[in-house]
Amino acid sequence: MAWSSRRRASTRSSWRSTDRSGPVCGSASKPHRSLRSRSTAPASTSEAVRATGVSRMPLDVLSRNELNVCSGSRISAVTPMVDYPTPRSAVTHPDDARPDAQAFGPGFLTPAARDDRSTAGTAGSDLGSRYRAVIDHLPAVLYIDGVAAGTSVLDVSPRIRDLLGIEPAEWVETYDRWQERVHPDDRERVVAACERSIATGAPFRVQYRGLHRSGAVVWIREEAVLIRDASGDPQYWLGIMIDQSELIEAQVGLRDARSKYGALVEQIPAIVYIDLADESMLSTYVSPQIEDILGVTPQAYLDDPDLWSSMLHPEDRAGAIATYTRGRETGEPFTMEYRLIGPDGRVVWFQDSALVLKDPDGRPSLIQGVMLDITERKRAEERLAFLAYHDNLTSLPNKAMFDELLELALARADRHEHGVAVLTLDVDNFKLVNDSLGHEAGDHLIA
């Protein structure tokens, strides 16, 4: 609404009268502040200067003539966007605040100064429309809520309809029942946070469950600052409410997954690890089984980046490090077998299988692996290999070994053109030893 020569009662109520013996804009204790204009040239009667200014402090004036005196130029139109809930001059703001910039609704004022050739109110109206459009499309609810007795919600953005299923007008009319829209289990905590903010002046920050008109529960993150008057009395809240439902659901899902798969990881007879896929090769996670299998605590393993390589068996160290490094550099999955020697001297065989995770740019970022204890399998394989060439009872070389050694000797003799001699030892009446003294005595005799 542009200023005109007529002083409307509704307009006068939002401006306080100044002491005519003092400055006509601002209080007597403060120097007047002129409108900041993009042009510093004085306006003349022959050529008007087109400019738009924004006051950095509340304007305590009654008419356009008083603005002319304050600014030193001719003001043709002033657009007060909305009224404050309390007398305009009674509201104070921090030095870094913009009390004159219209954010969205009551409590903010945007004056516009233009020359006589422009249409009064156009610039301010366009600016207000742009701000309002921004507010209406933000994925959050913005509001101004009166605190003093007898006041209520002064403005709320249309997103309240999406958040709680309530029309903005209804929200304003029934705001005194706002606690009914907070989940019963959260009401006491929310009210306490509000009272604490009023008492201490700290920002109001709380996360709670709101009740949608449909009965659904909506997780809300609400933050607000309390604007006070010159006496320090609270006047109104300027706040925002953000729908946190999807975030909370994702967090709960992640927590459940961690609990579920974490228990699974910690139950399998293997060591699960996560390493950084860079030159540091730092381990960021290792499962608790490492303590039972190797005698090393998880924390000790994570604290010493060289512990893994230092525990590698000397015969396996070069090959294992080469395979790991190649997988880290190429991003290809890898599997290898090696031995680790624990602090107490135990030797443990592992089958290490790992995947290399890549970042959005395709570069290796993490290595996730499983170290399976295959010590028993290796012992079984070694036993089978031994039995393939040795007698199960006497552990002496069997016919298979004799045949293989004879083939090697004949091939070597043929290659070097020399002969081969076969020496045969036999024990007469060996059966008598077994029958009279037992097989154990017979085994000792042969050995």
Q: Residue by residue, what is the 3-state secondary structure of 166-201?
A: CCHHHHHHCHHHHHHHECHHHHHHHHHHHHHHHHHC
437 pLDDT exceeds 90? no
Q: What is the pLDDT of residue 54?
A: 47
Please indicate, yes or no, whether the overall pTM of this predicted structure exceeds 0.85. Answer: no
29 pLDDT exceeds 60? no
Could you say which DSSP state residue 85 is in? S
pLDDT band of 319, cuts 50, 70, 90: very high
218 pLDDT exceeds 90? yes
Distance CA 327, CA 71 (A): 72
pLDDT band of 127, cuts 50, 70, 90: low
- Angle at CA 420, nearest 5°, toward 415 and 424? 150
Distance CA 373, CA 339 (A): 10
Give the 3-state secondary structure of residue 420: coil
CB-based contact 153:133 (threshold 8 Å):
no
88 pLDDT exceeds 50? no
Determine if residue 165 is left, alpha or beta; phi over 0 gives left, psi from -120 to 50 gives alpha, anything else beta: left
| Overall average pLDDT of the 45-53 stretch | 44
pLDDT tens digits along 247-263: 888 888 777 776 767 77
Distance CA 151, CA 132 (A): 23
Task: Give the residue carrying structure tokens 């007795």.
Answer: 149
Torsion angle of C-alpha atoms 124, 125, 127, 131, degrees rounded to 10: 130
Q: What is the pLDDT of residue 121?
A: 52
pLDDT band of 128, cuts 50, 70, 90: low
164 pLDDT exceeds 60? yes
pLDDT band of 21, cuts 50, 70, 90: very low
Please state which of the ranges 102-111, 184-193, 194-203 shows the lowest mean pLDDT: 102-111
Q: Between the ranges 7-21, 94-108, 390-404, where is the mean pLDDT highest?
A: 390-404
pLDDT band of 18, cuts 50, 70, 90: very low
Give the 3-state secondary structure of residue 220: strand
CB-based contact 7:51 (threshold 8 Å):
no
What is the identity of the amino acid at 315?
E
CB-based contact 364:328 (threshold 8 Å):
yes
- 3 vs 167 pLDDT, higher one: 167
CB-based contact 1:80 (threshold 8 Å):
yes
Bridge pairing between strands 234-243 and 204-211: unpaired
Q: What is the pLDDT of residue 150?
A: 54
Q: What is the set of domains in the chain, with CATH numbers? A: 1-133 (no CATH), 141-248 (3.30.450.20), 270-379 (3.30.450.20), 390-446 (no CATH)
Consecutive H or E run containing 204? strand 204-211
pLDDT band of 447, cuts 50, 70, 90: low
Q: What is the pLDDT of residue 251?
A: 81
Q: Which of 168, 178, 130, 175 is nearest to 150 (CA)?
A: 175
Please state which of the ranges 75-79, 138-142, 375-379, 393-397 shows the lowest mean pLDDT: 75-79
85 pLDDT exceeds 60? no
| Overall average pLDDT of the 323-334 stretch | 93
Distance CA 9, CA 72 (A): 27
Q: What is the pLDDT of residue 192?
A: 93
What is the identity of the amino acid at 370?
V
Distance CA 411, CA 47 (A): 117
Residue 16, Cβ density class (10 Å: 0-12 exposed, 13-18 middle, ≥19 buried): middle
Residue 110, Cβ density class (10 Å: 0-12 exposed, 13-18 middle, ≥19 buried): buried
Q: Which of 343, 242, 256, 232 is nearest to 295 (CA)?
A: 343
CB-based contact 218:129 (threshold 8 Å):
no
pLDDT tens digits along 280-302: 778 989 999 999 999 999 999 99
Name the phi and psi angles at 237, rounded to 5.
-95, 140
pLDDT tens digits along 197-207: 888 888 999 99
| Overall average pLDDT of the 413-434 stretch | 81
Distance CA 412, CA 397 (A): 21
Q: What is the pLDDT of residue 100?
A: 39
| Overall average pLDDT of the 229-253 stretch | 87
- Angle at CA 279, nearest 5°, toward 276 and 285? 25
CB-based contact 333:366 (threshold 8 Å):
no
**Percentage of the chain lying above the pLDDT 70 cut:** 68
119 pLDDT exceeds 60? no
278 pLDDT exceeds 90? no
Determine if residue 281 is left, alpha or beta; phi over 0 gives left, psi from -120 to 50 gives alpha, anything else beta: left
